[in-house]
Structure 1
Amino acid sequence: MEDIQFLISKWKQILQKLEKNNGKVRQIQIGKKATMQEIEAKEKVLGCQLPPSYKYIVHNIGKSLSFYYSFSEDTMIPSEFREIFSGEINWNIDFLQNLNIADELLEDEEDDGGTLRGKLEFSHAGNGDIYAFDMSVDSAEKPVIYWDHEEDTITYIADSFIDYLLRITELGCIGSEKWQFEYFLSDSGLDTASPAAVKWKQWFETFSETTLEDVKNNMEQLAAFVVYREKLDEETITLLQRFDRNELFQFLLKKLHKEGAFKDQKLICGMIGRVLGLYAETWVSSIWEDKPDHIDTRLRSYLTAMCTSKDKGLLLVFNFLESSNKKITGYEALSHLGDFHSRDVISWMENDVKFPVTEGWDELFLRSNFSWDDLKRWTSLEEKHEVTVIHALEKYVHEKSANNEFSYVISGLPSKSELIDFLVELRKRQVLKKRILPIENVIQNIDIFY
């Protein structure tokens, strides 16, 4: 058996690299080395011979071992490996168990677990999936397999325990869940020589944490940084505004066509809307005419709110929502109109709002810059309008309390005493506790409004 002590050194190097780049690291914990007597005793209990490489490792490294890391959120992992976020190895000789559960489940006429017959568990993933030896194979060494508890499927990982450790270490000890390492799977298990594995290893060897300072002077890297971090703040917007507008616009359009995930497209549209604004008006108008299938209608409405005049934009979105024969839901209205921040939206939604108002309508009322006149009018209409106001005021208090950047001031507010009187009368008209309590909370936090 080859000397495997170098593995510990390699694992420490990996953890040091992650720690240096602000990753979360749980250092290596190694148990005492297993004596041959302990190994033989374990085999007697299990009723089978343990694989030679497993015995060698617990005898020469330790009966147990564990370590873990996760990448910093500022580490820009290549998009094709976006499901990888951590790394882990663990085993413990005391946790070895024959998976007789398979027979028990079959006796109970359950389908799950039938694939586990003849398997010897030696570790498990964080999501509850199992690493095991396939003891049914007629050889001294036993292959390492992975059991997916949701799919009840077996995946071949490596020819032996030492083979598994060598392969996973070569890949940076990437996370134990299948969806993290499946990029590198082939019919013969983990393939460390595949094109994907070669690209991953090259990246892993040279990666470093990325900061805004690192990418601020490179337009493409800065845009990629925004998408990867899923964050577009004022500092980033200011940096993006330093680049040539047409060059930035053309780059973002190409990127929008390439990205398939809604959340990524939303961030790209966010850059177009918040950085370029009216500069993109002609293009935004064209996507209403051409109706490209690569842009979600919600994103089209967002771009319309950010890049066109409010009157023109609102009319387009109102007509779109009303063109459907189905009833408009609160969440749908919010997703298309919430970024306009216009009181005209409140007038429009007066005819469409319906119970439950907490499914988007109250949020839309809040985000549409309601005034004191709107509060008085809506509480004099139907019950659904009154309840919308109650929950919108509740949300207003919550936002003001939790977010220092929430600077919206309700226009036309009367004196504090008049507002309290208004709320007290509103509370008197309520029967349900779930409506009374929000009003009382607003009254208790009345200073937030002034």
Structure 2
Amino acid sequence: MSVMTFQHKLEQWQSQWSELLESLRHKGADVFHTWEPPVTEKQLTELEQKLGIALPDELKQTLAVASEAWMGWTLQHTSLVPFDANGDWGWSFQTLDWLDLWMVEDADPTRYLAFYHAHNGDSLVLDMHVQPQQPAVLSWNHETGEFQFLAPSLSEFLERVTMLYGIGAESWQYEPFVDYSGLNMNHPHTLQWRKWMDDYLHLTLEKANGTLEELIRYAQMSGEADEPLRAAFAAYEPELVLHAWQERIEQESDRGVREALMEYAGDICCSYAADWVRSLWKANSGERVNASILAYLTARCLPEQEGLALVFNELEQMEQTSRLNGYTACAWLKPFTSRKVIEWMFLGQRVSYPYDGWDRLFACSAPSAEDIWQWLGGSTVQQQVVISALAMLENVQTIFPEQAQLQHTLVLLEQQLDKAVTKKEKNLVNGAVHALNKL
């Protein structure tokens, strides 16, 4: 590649990168972008003297465009992103140096020139031994010390990583797309990823509205079942909608994505998916879907009384073999946001130390002022659960619609503060008082 051609490509890539990041930002992704002024001839000369080599032409030209370029993105709905992908790519004059291989015996200290460092400690490097003027790009895993061939040159790497929408730079990010030739643009995973990202960036509800298959694909891209999307699905027979979701779920090989699709199916189909959810409960425990997914679908699709009965029974069976912990109970019962959960906890005297998880479950189960007073008058652990939960409440004004209710609660908390012995207990009460005094 000639000097002018590479410079022209750098300009094209910069334009593509800027357009990509702007498009992702509009889609709600978190993006970052640093583009520093180019290096000077003096800086380049001093760096070459420090490194003891002449820098490859492509690297020089890259630094002449920007001394440092740091770009990346993270999508919000990570559960549905293929390969757990995120974006991270660039280069840096400031950190350009020989890779430190102190842990490798007899390693050549002047072979691998690191031009970019990922957040996790992995690095992108140039192999300066094979072709010093056009070195290959490798990924270095800082935990294993292993190298992974990515491209035969810096220009080829930038071309390929651009086609992959900037994926990287932690070494595991490249693994689905790599073979003996490096990042392979014809690899099945590459084609799958590029198709997914193209849909994510360009598929609209208007374009997807023609078929259920496309609507489901749009739901994957949008990441939420908002009113316009619900309305689009409502134009079809509910049985057809559920069947289409079930087919899509069965086709998905990635368990994480499959379970996320099940959540979306529950959001869209609601009570029409009740029999399907009941069938999930009948599966053997080892074949069931993730507990949090099953709990979510149960709360979303079954009548509350039926759904809670199933979950209560599940948890009570667990209690037969070991004491139920708050995190497990919260995972199963949080989706219901029901006061009946608070009653189940209180009457069964289920909360215990450590109470982590129980406080979160109390806070998200639509407690009333009367519930809070009852727990403040309960056992020591019940008191600490509700006091901790008060600092987590998001609907305080709904719980205490009258000022007198709030004042009575504050009086009860002052009594708790008087009884507190340890600094931790006092801080817990003060946190609850501070949260309520914000009203």
TM (norm. structure 2) is 0.78
Paired residues of 1:131 and 1:145 also in contact (CA < 8 A): yes
Q: CA deviation at 1:187?
A: 1.9
Which residue, 362, 366, 369 being the options, matches 2:363? 366
Aligned partner letter, 1:339: P
Partner of 1:301: 295
Paired residues of 2:150 and 2:181 also in contact (CA < 8 A): yes
Aligned partner letter, 2:87: S
Unaligned runs of 5+ in 2: 26-30
Partner of 2:90: 89
Which residue, 436, 440, 444 being the options, matches 2:426? 436
Question: How many aligned positions are there?
Answer: 426
Which residue, 285, 309, 314 being the options, matches 1:315? 309
Instruction: Identify if the C-alpha distance between structure 1 residues 275 and 64 changes in structure 2 by more than 3 Å, giving closer, same or farther.
Output: closer
Unaligned runs of 5+ in 1: 106-110, 402-406
Instruction: Identify if the C-alpha distance between structure 1 residues 202 and 282 changes in structure 2 by more than 3 Å, giving closer, same or farther.
Output: closer
Provide Cα deviations, 1:282-316, integer angstroms capped at 9, x if missing partner.
22222222347252233223322332333332222
**Larger radius of gyration, structure 1 or 2?**
1
TM (norm. structure 1) is 0.76
Instruction: Identify if the C-alpha distance between structure 1 residues 138 and 439 changes in structure 2 by more than 3 Å, giving closer, same or farther.
Output: closer
Aligned partner letter, 1:384: V
In 2: Cα distance, 1:233 partner to 1:433 partner: 46
Instruction: Identify if the C-alpha distance between structure 1 residues 338 and 412 changes in structure 2 by more than 3 Å, giving closer, same or farther.
Output: farther
Instruction: Identify if the C-alpha distance between structure 1 residues 237 and 331 changes in structure 2 by more than 3 Å, giving closer, same or farther.
Output: farther
Matches within 5 A, 1:30-429: 31=38, 34=41, 45-48=50-53, 50=54, 54-55=56-57, 58=60, 62=64, 65-70=67-72, 73=75, 79-80=81-82, 82-83=84-85, 85-86=86-87, 88-90=89-91, 92=93, 96-99=96-99, 101-102=100-101, 105=102, 111=103, 117-127=109-119, 128-137=121-130, 141-168=134-161, 171=164, 174-197=167-190, 208-210=201-203, 215=208, 219-233=212-226, 236-237=229-230, 239-259=232-252, 264-265=257-258, 267-291=260-284, 293-324=287-318, 325-350=321-346, 351-357=349-355, 359-396=356-393, 399-400=394-395, 408-409=398-399, 415-429=405-419
Instruction: Identify if the C-alpha distance between structure 1 residues 400 and 58 changes in structure 2 by more than 3 Å, giving closer, same or farther.
Output: same
In 1: Cα distance, 2:141 partner to 2:190 partner: 22
Paired residues of 1:158 and 1:190 also in contact (CA < 8 A): yes
Paired residues of 2:58 and 2:134 also in contact (CA < 8 A): no
Paired residues of 2:80 and 2:256 also in contact (CA < 8 A): no
In 1: Cα distance, 2:298 partner to 2:58 partner: 66
Q: Secondary structure at the match of 1:369?
A: coil
Partner of 1:108: none
Q: Secondary structure at the match of 2:391?
A: helix
Paired residues of 2:281 and 2:288 also in contact (CA < 8 A): no
In 1: Cα distance, 2:199 partner to 2:337 partner: 45
Q: Secondary structure at the match of 1:90?
A: strand
Q: CA deviation at 1:333?
A: 0.6
Q: Secondary structure at the match of 1:11?
A: helix
Instruction: Identify if the C-alpha distance between structure 1 residues 393 and 43 changes in structure 2 by more than 3 Å, giving closer, same or farther.
Output: closer
In 1: Cα distance, 2:275 partner to 2:197 partner: 43
Paired residues of 2:118 and 2:170 also in contact (CA < 8 A): yes
Paired residues of 1:14 and 1:172 also in contact (CA < 8 A): no
